[in-house]
Amino acid sequence: MLRTQFFLALLLVAGCSGSPSRTTTATPATSPSSTVVRVTQSPTVTPTPSPTAAIRYVAIGASDTVGVGATDPATGSWPARVAKLLPPGSAFVNVGVSGSIALQARTAQLPGALAQRPTVVSIWLAVNDMNATIEPASFANDLGAIVDALVSGTDAKIFVGNVPDVRPVPAYKDADKVALFALINGYNSAIAAIAAKYPGRVTLVDLFTGSAPLVSTLTVSGDGFHPSDAGYQLIADRFADAMRANGVPLR
């Protein structure tokens, strides 16, 4: 089975990403630490959602959403870079937690995201699930539940990133590249099917096509796994382009 074959190949990067296996508790080791920012000329912290904000943007994800690998994660993560493009008066909330798999995001991040009454949501998960050798179908069940809840519980436009071709990333140097590519395709097929379920509400952000610049030596940080500042900018650009194409008035 692919799960058995791929376990040893991905074991080395599981430690790098900090993602737990499926059998661990769904509660992350560290509790979510949401970043809430009102987008003004001088951003300030606000503890509650603003119903009058021009855009209420919430980011769901793991270490990439938090900004691990950036010089300044708080401002250098890809969602923070997207948030800088929001019109004045908007609000940005990052509920991402490093090491999260989709199951953990579903239980620990989704409630906080819903509470913000977002108008725009980004979701980028999957790589930690891959590293934990979780089957694509199981991942899809949890990601699908997150998207279902956001569609039914909010009016938000939802943007879901897929998996880049990470085979050149240094952390995967000893992985079975054929098996890795098959697993990436399996995850991306699952993500595409979830997005296709809600046309007009959920948009697939394609990080796989033309992903070579995202995984180059210049765009992977010194840990050999997470994006660098340059990498985070490229990811932010792809999400921002998708948002603009779907009516989000980014600058």
Answer yes or no: is pLDDT of 17 > 60.
Answer: no
CATH T-level assignment (fold) for domain 2-245: Rossmann fold (3.40.50)
Handedness of CA 29, 59, 102, 226 (dihedral sign): negative
- pLDDT at 47 > cutoff 80: no
pLDDT digits (tens, 9 = 90+) for 133-153: 999 999 999 999 999 999 999
Angle ∠(242,46,35) on CA atoms, nearest 5: 50
pLDDT in tens, 155-205: 999 999 999 999 999 999 999 999 999 999 999 999 999 999 999 999 999
Residue showing tokens 């959403």: 65
Query: In angstroms, how far is CA 101 from the centroid of its own chain?
Result: 10
Other beta carbons less than 10 A from residue 47's beta carbon: 6
| Cα dihedral across residues 29, 137, 237, 38: positive or negative | negative
Confidence of residue 50 (pLDDT cuts 50, 70, 90): low
Give the pLDDT of residue 69.
95
Q: What is the pTM of this model?
A: 0.82
Provide mean pLDDT across the span 216-226: 89
Domain boundaries, the chain: 2-245
Mean of per-residue pLDDT scores for the chain: 85
pLDDT per residue over 85-97, tens digit each? 999 999 999 999 9
β-pair partners for 122: 59, 159
